[in-house]
A and B are shown apart, each in its own frame.
Chain A
Amino acid sequence: MTIRILLVDDHPIVRQGLKTLLEGHSGWEVIGEAADGAEAVEKAKDLSPDVMVLDVTMPRMNGLEACRLLRQECPGLEILFVTQHDSPQMMREALEAGARGYVVKSNAARDLLAAVDAVSQHRVFTALNGRNVAELR
């Protein structure tokens, strides 16, 4: 079954990089892109993706706010944060907001595929830079 992914980051060049990485994986499809949290919420409602790859720091609405909203609006959607913030506090906040995964942007090329694979199967995946890679449940 195809995993349908929505990419959310305010930098088009980062979305392009994530897209080339994800589309190299057979059976995964990037069905849309958004540049901020508000657009992410709208597109998630329209497109019903299986997984959202979501940045934290974005204009208009940040990723944490979007995540909290999406938990109510799209309960079946799995959310994976890909962020600059290499911080246990931020990771905890992301998971409390309802995300299933957390990956640091500098390691995205290494961790992203495993993370999408895990969250698409409703498993938690977290990885901070150089400290731990933990796949839970």
Chain B
Amino acid sequence: MKLRILLADDHEIVRRGLRALLEKHEGWEVCGEASDGREAVEKALQLNPDVVIVDIGMPNLNGLDTTRQLLQHDPHFKVIVLTITDSDQVIREALDAGARGFVLKSDAARDLVSAVEALQNKRMFFTPRVNDLVLAGFLEKGQTVSRNEAPKLPTLTAREREITQLLAEGNSSKEVASLLNLSTKTVETHRSNIMRKLSFHSIRDLVVYAIKNNLIQIELPPPPPKTPTGPGPTAA
């Protein structure tokens, strides 16, 4: 029987690349694709894949919360998180969320097949950096966050994190309500709770929080060339 894989990434071109890579492997098939986390959860419940591959930086519902939701629905889901960074915080959150594989997007062509094979054989797959962190004891139960780090995400509930991401992506309360099938009043209540819990007074604070906590990701322009040949890029 074939191993069935669900792919979730907001870039179709990346999904095409992943599909081409995975379908070269005999006995594997990509049974579905999703372009954001919410669609990934829906399709996973519908298709019941053996492995779900999720990008961390997806709109509407990011990959970490997608992983959390999937495992709440069914703890047997096997999730591989694809990420552009392997910072300590991202690694911790991916493991906390329950991911069984962690692959850097830049290394996906090399590592993803090994990661899927590992999960197929009931093992886990992590990058060498994750293994180093585990060995160094960073992930011991009860480990506290260092003083210089951003506030930890679990101060918000899963629903509050979802709403924080959607607000930080520029959606109004009304739009968030529509996306989540809630009343605008309920979203406004969540919004007030979020702002109170985090002691924020503006949506700008919320956006910064969302970026620091990997709820949303931003693309920075490349550094200006060493030899100036014109005006440098303008930071967003």
Residues of A within 8 A of B (CB): 10-21, 56-58, 62-65, 68, 82, 84-85, 87, 89-90, 93, 96-97, 105-106, 108-110, 112
Contact = CB atoms under 8 A, between A and B. Distances in A.
A22 to B, nearest CB: 11
Contact of B14 (A13, A63, A112): A13
A85 B234 CA distance: 11
Contacts of A14: 11, 13-14, 17
B105 A64 contact: no
B221 A90 contact: yes
B16 interface: yes
Interface of B: 10-18, 20-21, 105-106, 108-110, 112, 219-223, 225, 229-231, 233-234, 236
SS class, residues of chain A in contact with chain B: helix
Contacts of A93: 230-231, 233
B229 to A, nearest CB: 6
**A-B CB proximity, top 8 nearest:** A17-B17, A12-B109, A16-B17, A17-B16, A109-B12, A17-B13, A13-B17, A62-B222
A123 to B, nearest CB: 22
Given A84-B219, A89-B234, A109 B13 contact: yes
B221 A85 contact: yes
Nearest to A65: B225
B108 A12 contact: yes
A64 to B, nearest CB: 7
B108 A13 contact: yes
A13 B18 contact: yes
Nearest to B110: A12
Contacts of B12: 17, 106, 108-110
B17 A87 contact: no
B192 to A, nearest CB: 31
B33 to A, nearest CB: 11
Contacts of A18: 13, 17
A90 B13 contact: no
A64 B13 contact: no
Contacts of A89: 233-234
15 contacts: A11-B106, A12-B108, A13-B105, A13-B108, A17-B13, A20-B16, A21-B16, A56-B221, A57-B220, A57-B222, A58-B222, A64-B222, A65-B225, A108-B11, A109-B16
A90 B10 contact: no
A45 B106 CA distance: 26
B219 A85 contact: yes
A78 to B, nearest CB: 20
A13 B21 contact: yes
A87 B21 contact: no
Nearest to A93: B233
B21 A16 contact: yes
A115 to B, nearest CB: 13
B222 A17 contact: no
Contacts of A57: 219-222
Contacts of B21: 13, 16
A84 to B, nearest CB: 4
